[in-house]
A and B are shown apart, each in its own frame.
Chain A
Amino acid sequence: MSSSPQTTSTNSAYLTNQFAHRFVRALNNLNHTKTSSHGHNQISRRTSRVKIAAYTAMASVVGSRRAWSRAVLWKIRKRSRIRSLLLRMNRKRVDHKIFNCHHHSKVMSLKRRNPNPKRQYYFNPFRNSSQESKLRKLVPGAQTMDSWCLMGETADYIKCLAAQGNNRKEVQ
């Protein structure tokens, strides 16, 4: 990896700081924008929103440098895009069938083309490939990577997750 141990330590401090900053800002935005009614589904929605805020904060700190952060941000933006689209559709009160068709087409257009199709002909060094598939599911954006990139992304992801976890620990 590129960062030396010294830069990693300062990186982690910087990361945790940035995480905290952005996460709190996201929570603040969340609180200001949403004023819907209360209910249990609202709780779950809030939970998911806070979770999204956490991931967004983490990914935005890293930015476009790593593939996993790009994947996280891309997913979140796609979701927000679809949501806004749905809202627009709802407001226009389009017919249900047309609405579904439009939704589907929009979703398909938003779907990202697979830039790196998984290469099948490479020798798989992991005999037990189920672990690797598990890892791919865990790390965002790692579905279409080869093993070497997957390991690199996992390393960076672990680093950022640990930094954010430490951040929470210190906060509380």
Chain B
Amino acid sequence: MQKENIFTNEGNGIPQAWNSIFGIGIQGNEGNGIPSLEWESNCVINSIDQRDIFESSLTSIISSPANSGTGIPNSGSRDNIILKELIGRLGSICNSSDISHITTSSCYNTPLNSPQKVVNMSITDHNIHGNGNHQFPLAKYSSLVGKNDYNNGMESGKLSRVSTETGIKGHGNNNNININNNGRKRKEVAKGKGNGKETQSSSTLFAKDDKVVAEVEKEESDAKRSKSNDGKKSNEKSTEPPKDYIHVRARRGQATDSHSLAERVRREKISERMKFLQDLVPGCNKVTGKAVMLDEIINYVQSLQRQVEMFRPQVVVPNNVDPFDTSVHSFPYAFHSQINSMILDRPENQFSMNPLVAAMHRNSTVKPSHIDGFGEASTLWENDLQSVVKMALGGQDQPQDFHGQMKVEL
């Protein structure tokens, strides 16, 4: 059975050790019993922090399967066994470390995390087939890892990589931050391709920042998947700068070609932005679904534009209309129409605009330069502007009435 390798090679000891353990040969740093373990399925381990913990647990993992699997030829059943054991060990590590990070650990974590289908269902199934010598907290582990679901309900029989890792390192947040910040698709680098080709059609993904993602691969259609993954690797956007790519992971039951991955990345970004818009538009918290949300956004933008253009048509009509206002269709209360009427009808409007200008100049000097005072400045400005408006509307004799009429209905 062919497994897939996903490496994020940082050049530090652990990922190389991991790689070497599982992929190429064993020149691991551990040096105990590991060389005997040749494993086709490779795991990529996210080693951000706690490398020591990782090493220790890794050694424990490796040693225990190594003991049982010493000298085992690379056969399918044995791989199952080893895989199951490894997963069990990883599960134990996960349990020991911060479990909460596992949920946030997926490198694909977005705010719109759909409930993760059990990514490790395949693992459990897979391991059930293997020998039941070791009792691992597989169910627990799967439930832990299964909290982050990348699947948008498109689960199928096809299995893809399972990401178990960042939880192991307990720094999934770093993943998330990196991914959300980058906003681009990070794919394999040429290094990974070579390794992948070496390790019997295992595909490797490299991340250039300090991340090693541990994944356990299960394949049901190994040849196909390896080919597709290899194809994906070879379709890498190798032209992208190394630091500028997102770690993309194929989810369980989803296609692993580059196009669908790209589409998924794009969709995630867009849904992220939709959430942000949901916060902006008032009263959209209860709305679910993109279509309704979009409608709300469109309505809101239209109403805002109308407000800006029409100067808020829903205003209270004042009792005393400006005698100079000849524009019948406009609201005499509205600033806009008042200015219009002033501009049109009275040549001495220029003079009346002057106090506005004067007020503006006066206010601009008052306005403080630093940001803190902007609130005060705006209120000052607006008070002054209000007074100017009163003046422009034809007299200081009606400030109080005007103020009473200045109610905006929305």
Interface residues of A (CB under 8 A from B): 1, 10, 13-14, 16-17, 20-21, 24-25, 27-28, 30-32, 34, 38, 42-43, 46-47, 50-51, 54-55, 58, 122-123, 125-128, 131-132, 134-135, 138-139, 147-148, 151-152, 154-155, 157-159, 161-162, 164-165, 167-172
Q: Which of A50, A54, A157, A164 contacts B301 (CB 8 A)?
A: A157
Q: Which of B290, B301, B389 contacts A126 (CB 8 A)?
A: B290
- Least Cβ–Cβ distance between A163 and chain B, in angstroms: 10
Q: Other than the known A31-B343, A135-B294, A151-B274, what 6 A-B pairs have Cβ atoms closer than 8 Å? A: A32-B350, A43-B340, A123-B263, A151-B273, A155-B276, A168-B312
In the complex, chain B residues whose CB is within 8 Å of the CB of A161 = 301, 304-305, 307-308
User: Across the interface, do A154 and B304 meet the contact criterion of CB distance under 8 Å?
Assistant: no
Q: Is B7 engaged at the interface, CB distance under 8 Å to the other chain? A: no
Question: Complex formed: what's the CA distance from A29 to B378 in Å?
Answer: 22
Query: Number of residues in B with C-beta < 8 Å to the partner?
Result: 62
Our count of residue pairs bridging A and B at CB distance below 8 angstroms stands at 162
User: Across the interface, do B356 and A24 meet the contact criterion of CB distance under 8 Å?
Assistant: yes
Q: Which of A43, A131, A154, A171 contacts B385 (CB 8 A)?
A: A171
User: Across the interface, do B389 and A154 meet the contact criterion of CB distance under 8 Å?
Assistant: no
User: Across the interface, do A14 and B295 meet the contact criterion of CB distance under 8 Å?
Assistant: no
In terms of DSSP, what is the predominant structure of the interface of chain B?
helix
Question: Complex formed: what's the CA distance from A54 to B306 in Å?
Answer: 12
- Least Cβ–Cβ distance between A103 and chain B, in angstroms: 28
Q: Which of A27, A134, A151, A157 contacts B270 (CB 8 A)?
A: A151
User: Across the interface, do B340 and A125 meet the contact criterion of CB distance under 8 Å?
Assistant: no
User: Across the interface, do B344 and A138 meet the contact criterion of CB distance under 8 Å?
Assistant: no
Partner-binding segment picked from B12-20, B42-50, B143-151, B369-377? B369-377
In residues 251-273 of chain B, which contact A (Cβ within 8 Å)? Answer: 263, 266-267, 269-271, 273
Question: Complex formed: what's the CA distance from A115 to B273 in Å?
Answer: 23
In the complex, chain B residues whose CB is within 8 Å of the CB of A151 = 270, 273-274, 276-277
In the complex, chain B residues whose CB is within 8 Å of the CB of A28 = 353, 356-357, 360
In the complex, chain A residues whose CB is within 8 Å of the CB of B307 = 161, 165, 168
In terms of DSSP, what is the predominant structure of the interface of chain A?
helix
Question: Complex formed: what's the CA distance from A170 to B381 in Å?
Answer: 10
**Given A27-B339, A172-B315, also A123-B266 (CB < 8 A):** yes
Instruction: Give B311's nearest chain A residue, CB to CB.
Output: A168
Q: Which of B300, B353, B364 contacts A158 (CB 8 A)?
A: B300
Which 8 pairs, one residue from A and one from B, show the smallest C-beta to C-beta distance?
Answer: A151-B273, A161-B304, A131-B294, A123-B263, A17-B378, A13-B374, A165-B307, A125-B267
Q: Which of A24, A46, A131, A170 contacts B291 (CB 8 A)?
A: A131
In the complex, chain A residues whose CB is within 8 Å of the CB of B295 = 131
Q: Which of B266, B304, B364 contacts A148 (CB 8 A)?
A: B266
User: Across the interface, do B301 and A158 meet the contact criterion of CB distance under 8 Å?
Assistant: yes
13 contacts between A and B (CB under 8 A): A17-B374, A21-B364, A24-B360, A46-B343, A47-B340, A54-B308, A125-B267, A125-B290, A131-B294, A147-B266, A154-B277, A155-B277, A169-B312
